[in-house]
């Protein structure tokens, strides 16, 4: 579960996040929409403890720890470009990550995770420097699976992915949510947001101006609503 209450962040004079309240329940996928500069990345940065808020409260997976520690313990983050150790293979990257978590996985356990995430077999033992964006996203998912993350934070996860990779990625995210993870994804991809998310909110100038249950909307309706919502706040 993700609970954000009255989150505020300023950069000098600029109010990037303005008293934001937002909740994402276990098993729920929430799409955080909004134009450039709306405060999506700042919100995500605060969730992960990368950015220090000026006010408000953040709770991840019921933890009362400071956000950075709670994120280290409970969250997995998949950035637009998943950073890997370029000279290590996919298997070695996952092994390294799992050792940081205090685990000693067998090669078979790592391969089972890579298989589950759909990383092509031919890539398992190749250096990550040759990986495509979609392959990197899959390794990111493996790390979330390995960690048993209760919170999954995604920043523009589908930008630059081809439609097939994007659909495959969406299925993996849904599988993690079905295991009980609370998922928040900042995105400009309204099509994928409508396909994948359960709920979405529109952030403008650091405030949520609208929220919808996506199950209530017809195909294509999200874009109309979104543009209408922005128009009303122009
Ligand atoms: N490190 C920073 N220093 C100063 N201002 C910043 C900093 N990071 C973000 N901002 C400002 O805070 C506001 C929110 O930015 P943020 O990156 O969170 O928006 P965003 O919704 O993620 O935008 P985008 O869709 O373009 O990624 C913007 O006005 C931005 O210029």
| Residues 108-164 pLDDT 10s | 999 999 998 889 999 999 999 999 988 998 999 899 888 889 999 999 888 878 888
Residue ranges and CATH numbers for the domains of the chain are 2-80+150-232 (3.40.50.300)
> What pLDDT does residue 232 have?
78
Ligand 1 neighbours, Cβ below 6 Å, are 11, 14, 16, 34, 36-42
> Which of 15, 16, 32, 203 has most ligand 1 atoms within 8 Å of its beta carbon, as the pocket-test mutant?
16
> What pLDDT does residue 116 have?
87
> Which of 4, 17, 18, 37 has most ligand 1 atoms within 8 Å of its beta carbon, as the pocket-test mutant?
37
Give me the mean pLDDT over the 190-213 stretch: 94
Distance 171 CA to ligand 1 centre (A): 29
> What pLDDT does residue 211 have?
95
| Residues 45-84 pLDDT 10s | 999 999 999 999 999 988 877 778 888 889 999 988 899 9
> Which of 20, 39, 81, 156 has most ligand 1 atoms within 8 Å of its beta carbon, as the pocket-test mutant?
39
Cα gap 191→204, rounded to integer Å: 19
Residue-by-residue DSSP string for the chain: -EEEEEEEEEETTEEEEEEEEEEE-TT-EEEEE--TTSSHHHHHHHHHTSS--SEEEEEETTB-S-HHHHHHHHEEEE-SS----TTSBHHHHHHHHHHHTT----HHHHHHHHHHHT--GGGTTSBGGG--HHHHHHHHHHHHHHHT-SEEEEESTTTT--HHHHHHHHHHHHHHHHTT-EEEEE-S-HHHHHHH-SEEEEEETTEEEEEEEGGGSPTTHHHHHHHHHHHHT-
The closest-lying atom of ligand 1 relative to the alpha carbon of residue 38 is 21
Please, what is the average pLDDT of the chain? 92
> What pLDDT does residue 70 have?
84
Distance 145 CA to ligand 1 centre (A): 30
Tokens 């996860």 correspond to 157
Give me the mean pLDDT over the 94-100 stretch: 93
Cα gap 207→6, rounded to integer Å: 10
ipTM above 0.85, yes or no: yes
Predicted TM-score (pTM) of the model is 0.92
> What pLDDT does residue 234 have?
66
| Residues 183-195 pLDDT 10s | 999 999 998 899 9
User: Which of 154, 202, 211, 203 shows the shortest CA–CA distance to 177?
Assistant: 154
> What pLDDT does residue 67 have?
76
Distance 206 CA to ligand 1 centre (A): 10
pLDDT at residue 38 greater than cutoff 90 = yes
> What pLDDT does residue 2 have?
95
147 touches 101 (CB < 8 A): yes
């Amino acid at each position: 579960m993700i609970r954000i209450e009255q989150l505020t962040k300023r950069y000098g004079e600029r109010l990037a996040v303005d008293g934001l309240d937002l909740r994402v329940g276990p098993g729920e996928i929430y799409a955080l929409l909004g134009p450039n500069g709306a405060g999506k990345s700042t919100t995500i940065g605060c969730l992960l403890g990368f950015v220090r808020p000026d006010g408000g409260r953040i709770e991840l997976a019921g933890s009362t720890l400071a956000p950075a520690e709670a994120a280290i313990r409970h969250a997995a983050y998949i950035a637009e470009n998943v950073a890997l150790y370029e000279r290590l293979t996919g298997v070695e990257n996952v092994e390294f990550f799992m050792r940081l978590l205090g685990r000693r996985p067998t090669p078979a356990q790592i391969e089972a995770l890579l298989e589950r995430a759909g990383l092509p077999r031919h890539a398992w033992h190749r250096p990550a420097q040759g990986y495509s964006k979609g392959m990197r996203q899959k390794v990111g998912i493996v790390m979330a699976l390995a960690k048993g993350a209760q919170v999954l934070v995604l920043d523009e996860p589908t930008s630059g992915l081809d439609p097939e990779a994007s659909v495959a990625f969406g299925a993996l995210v849904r599988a993690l949510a079905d295991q009980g993870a609370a998922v928040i994804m900042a995105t400009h991809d309204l099509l994928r947001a409508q396909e994948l998310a359960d709920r979405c909110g529109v952030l403008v100038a650091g405030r949520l101006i609208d929220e919808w249950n996506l199950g209530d909307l017809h195909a294509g309706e999200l874009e109309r609503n979104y543009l209408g919502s922005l128009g009303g706040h122009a």
